[in-house]
A and B are shown apart, each in its own frame.
Chain A
Amino acid sequence: MASQVLPLELIDKCIGSRIWVVMKSEREFTGTLLGFDDFVNMVLEDVTEYEMTPQGTKKTKLGQTLLNGNNICMLIPGSDGPES
């Protein structure tokens, strides 16, 4: 019987490393993961926000940020986002 790895255990392993967060809308974040909770609200550091608009991608740099988990769609561990 293969041992189960829960999805949130995988995210727990990512604490301290870079992570790419893709939202439900045309918005993405990259940052260093400091922590998260059961709702997958995430605390990130050295954050870049990417807003994809018809006019192009708008980048915003942020410091320590609590990202609401409500609109998170996908997490890509170890990646530095759309530019990498």
Chain B
Amino acid sequence: MDESPPPPPDDAPDTQTPPPPRTIHTGSPTDFLKGVVGKKVIVRLNSGVDYRGVLSCLDGYMNIALEQTEEHVEGNVTNRYGDAFIRGNNVLYISAAEEL
């Protein structure tokens, strides 16, 4: 076993293994959500009401926090909120309003 390389010291950075590729785009819902944070989005609820704003954060339940939120009902702005939290069970879709 003389040919086998010695194990790297514990405190040395691991130079053998490249970092996992972060740019691979599988198109899965999780990847979409990672890519859309900080972007302008349209969130439509099951009731048909739209909320347009900047997506500040969200979780696996599709609970959503929006900034600079505009509430749209049948195409008309009915309300504006600085911050808004939307409970995920009401969400029909989250659509990117700008290029990802």
A interface, CB within 8 angstroms of B: 15, 25, 27, 34-37, 41-43, 47, 51, 62-68, 70-71
Dominant SS among interface residues on chain B: mixed
Q: Give the residues in chain B near A41, CB-CB below 8 Å.
A: 29
B interface, CB within 8 angstroms of A: 26-33, 36, 42, 46, 48, 62, 89, 91-100
Check if B29 sits within 8 Å of A65, measured CB to CB.
no
Q: Give the residues in chain A near B29, CB-CB below 8 Å.
A: 35-37, 41-43, 66
Name which residue of chain A comes closest to B90, CB basis: A68
The answer to whether residues A71 and B92 also contact, given A34-B27, A63-B97, A64-B100 and a CB cut-off of 8 A, is yes
